[in-house]
Amino acid sequence: MTTDETSERAAAYLAAYDEQLRARTFSPELSGAERVGPVERILVPGEGGLILYRDLGGLDGPELDAFIAAQRDHFAALGRPVEWKYYGYDLPADLPDRLRAAGFTPGEQETVIIGEAAEIAAEPRLPEGVRLHEVTSRADFDRIGALSQEVWGGDQSWLAPAMEGWVSGGGDPCTVLVAESLAGEVVCAAWVRFHPGTEFASLWGGSTLPNWRGRGLYRALVAARATLAVERGFRYVQIDALDTSRPILARLGLLPVATTTPYTWEPDAGN
């Protein structure tokens, strides 16, 4: 594609993302969600809060500051942390400053990357001695939690119970894949969530043990999950990508369309 064609495609992807994913209304029965003004306020069982929106409906100045503080105070009353998912093109332009003033702290910036599932779907090419398969048991989710702990550190105890809920039908359908060595070691794990009512499937995970990196496992899992998306009738795959995975995704033909940064507030942040 020419530069202009690439730019036009990226703009079309972002428009579809805004109209379909960012504008979604979530089920209160499944997600503990409620609409508050322009945002969707979600309470994730066992974790914390999440604030999502397509746009802020023109809120600005003191009115916006009061609205941000009200969301923070809502979760403070519950004793739960909350993440405000900010996008680089959100208005007003000084929204990050206003979030910081309300006690929210920015996390690591990611890039929203989107591609055509049918163009990425392929038979996964795995290194010798590795098999790829779907998992559905808590025991396997615990193994994925241990993998994540080894790769990322920090507290990863939330992951296994969260996966159990996703796969058992808590919200958008989810399929979890692991790459496993012949010795039975989980060397890479990833999952895909299918978003009903949209053309999008989102790809998550892809953590790989250090001594297994550079062998094509992440790329293989992207191809496998894109294939699942095509089989279920979804047009696009979307990833919130760290800088480490962006080059791989670019080589596969996915396009960056925006940046996103989690702004988080913790109950003890002001103490």
Report long-range pairs for 61-64 (Cβ below 8 Å, ≥24 apart): 64/92, 64/95, 64/98
Residue 271 lies in a domain: no
Q: Read out DSSP for 65-77?
A: HHHHHHHHHHHHH
Q: Answer yes or no: do 160 and 254 share one domain.
A: yes
CA 106 – CA 25 distance, rounded (Å)? 25
Q: Answer yes or no: do 178 and 139 share one domain.
A: yes
Both structure tokens of 207? 């953590």
CA 188 – CA 173 distance, rounded (Å)? 21
Q: Answer yes or no: do 30 and 54 share one domain.
A: yes
- Whether the link from the prior residue into 196 is cis, omega within 30° of 0, is no
Q: Answer yes or no: do 49 and 138 share one domain.
A: no
Residue 66 CB-density burial (10 A; 0-12 exposed, 13-18 middle, 19+ buried): exposed
For 205, the domain range is: 115-259
Q: Answer yes or no: do 230 and 250 share one domain.
A: yes
Q: Answer yes or no: do 9 and 25 share one domain.
A: yes
**Local confidence pLDDT in tens for the 271 residues of the chain:** 788 889 999 999 999 999 999 998 887 766 788 999 999 999 977 678 999 999 999 999 999 999 999 999 999 999 999 999 999 999 999 999 999 999 999 999 999 999 999 999 999 999 999 999 999 999 999 999 999 999 998 888 889 998 998 898 767 899 999 999 999 999 999 999 999 999 999 999 999 999 999 999 999 999 999 999 999 999 999 999 998 899 999 999 999 999 999 999 999 855 4
Residue 94 lies in a domain: yes
Residue 270 lies in a domain: no
Q: Answer yes or no: do 17 and 33 share one domain.
A: yes
Q: Answer yes or no: do 171 and 227 share one domain.
A: yes
CATH number of the CATH domain containing 197 = 3.40.630.30
Q: Answer yes or no: do 43 and 87 share one domain.
A: yes
Q: Answer yes or no: do 131 and 96 share one domain.
A: no
Number of domains in the chain: 2
Residue 41 lies in a domain: yes
Residue 207 lies in a domain: yes
Both structure tokens of 135? 């998992």
Q: Answer yes or no: do 133 and 229 share one domain.
A: yes
Q: Answer yes or no: do 171 and 129 share one domain.
A: yes
